[in-house]
Structure 1
Amino acid sequence: MPVFALIIIGIAAGFLATRLMKIDTDIVTTIAIGILGALIGGLALRLLIAVTGFMAGLVGAVLGAMALIWLYKHYYRGR
């Protein structure tokens, strides 16, 4: 169940992160960024901070998705 929750949170986080970072992506890319960001950010945040619950996962997911967008904008688009 926790992985399923991260996927659901990731979809919302991908949407929020793409809007905050002002990047235009299609729906599949937005969902992929959100899910990967949720997995990276959610797990990292839970390891670094002993805070549990929905808000910690959402914050971590948004931060993780924003980090992926930053990497994408600086390294992938530059090619």
Structure 2
Amino acid sequence: MTTRIVSITEGEGLTRSIAIGTHTLTADEPEPIGTDAGPTPGELLLAALGSCTSMTLRAFADRHHWRSNASTWPCDSGTKNTSSRT
């Protein structure tokens, strides 16, 4: 497995540009704290955990030749959403 360099660059206010190898992401906080230019760090973490879990389940199902029609994996942090996002 190739190691990818991860770097974070400050933008305006709380906006951060995240570079992971050749990929780029933006993180921010919702208004009025930030400019809502991207998901919050907590949302990115939830996405990382959800995608890791779904990849693991898919690999396990494929290995055992189990059928799975799921293509969407809803993730919920269990905390009350106080931002304007739904």
TM-score, normalized by length of structure 2? 0.32
Larger Rg: 2
Q: Greater relative contact order: 1 or 2 (C-alpha under 8 angstroms, separation 6 or more)? A: 1
TM-score, with length taken from structure 1: 0.35
Q: Per residue, is there more strand in 1 or in 2? A: 2
